[in-house]
Homo-oligomer: A and B are copies of this chain.
Amino acid sequence: MTQTVLVFLDRALPDGRIEDAAKPQLFATDLGATRGDGVFETLLVLDGHVRKLPAHLSRMQHSAQVLELEVPGHEAWERAIVTALDEYQRVVGPLTEVVVKLVATRGVEGVHEATCWVAASAPAPAAKRQREEGIDVLLLDRGYDSDVAERAPWLLLGAKTLSYAVNMAALRHAHAHGADDVIFTSSDGQVLEGPTSTVLLAHADTDDAGHVTLKRLVTPRLDSGILPGTSQGALFAAAKEAGWELGYGPLEPEDLFDAEAVWLISSVRLLTPVNRIDGKAVGTDPALARALTEELSALFDKIA
């Protein structure tokens, strides 16, 4: 078991309340545990710096709003994160690479107050390997059409809720079929997102001498019921600065196979190249794909 540092948000303690993660800390009647009713964010700390903190806090506030869940403001979370990282340094080790999870549940049944905590732990070793070696993914139908989010707000699409059983089942399905991850498609055939990541693809034009003359970074359209990726948003901004063209879907599976490179991107696993989709190789020019990955990774590394 990974060592976890745990800090609860607490009205009485503005810096949060440190608790022992090796002891029970949640009530069995907490609606987070009995109904998956709550929201969360997963952040990466690199060399002591919390990456994209404002974007994560904003997205959590948005998720909470979609769920009509009242959660503490940014400052309370920021202070609890500082407490958690101080404690992590004290009891676990340096803040070279730390995963910080923010969780807010609807609270204990009948109490009507969110249960909120920050958990800091080491990243899973698989992330680094997957980033370096790339991954194989399966395309899986998520059952929803790409317009349902607007039509049916009660489906909570675009909110990062604790109800992740389907995402976990999709990953199990992929592992059972020899793949590492999943790209969900909509029932009307559009590329959506990964269970815990955003899909990116790149096109590049080269001149006769093999020099890249145009680079285009594309992600599925943001209004198709997917989670707006904090990593995608930050990388898009950096890529634009660096001269990339940007594009938003709709994307179909065919577009993934026509791309020079495809990645899954997330806060913890960062930019992870997709080698094969449904067993079929992605891209036709491995050297170009590697160059694009290196360029984007370098841009992404510099993001605050």
Contacts and interface: CB of A to CB of B under 8 A. Distances in A.
Contacts of A6: 28
Contacts of A187: 144-145, 148, 187
A304 interface: no
Interface stretch (A9-17, A70-78, A106-114): A106-114
> Oligomeric state, in number of copies?
2
B35 A26 contact: no
For chain A, the bracket of interface size reads 35 or more
A24 to B, nearest CB: 5
Contact of A26 (B33, B37, B67, B141): B33
A28 B173 contact: no
Contacts of A26: 24-28, 30, 33
A124 to B, nearest CB: 10
A250 interface: no
Contact of A35 (B67, B165, B170): B165
Interface stretch (A85-93, A127-135, A149-157, A214-222): A149-157
Contact of A34 (B1, B31, B162, B170): B162
Interface in A155-178: 155-156, 161-170, 172-173
A175 to B, nearest CB: 10
Nearest to A162: B36
Contacts of A34: 40, 101, 103, 162
Contacts of A21: 27-29
Given A24-B26, A37-B165, 19 more contacts: A1-B108, A1-B110, A4-B28, A4-B29, A6-B28, A21-B28, A24-B24, A25-B28, A26-B33, A34-B162, A36-B164, A141-B152, A143-B144, A143-B145, A143-B148, A153-B169, A153-B173, A154-B166, A155-B169
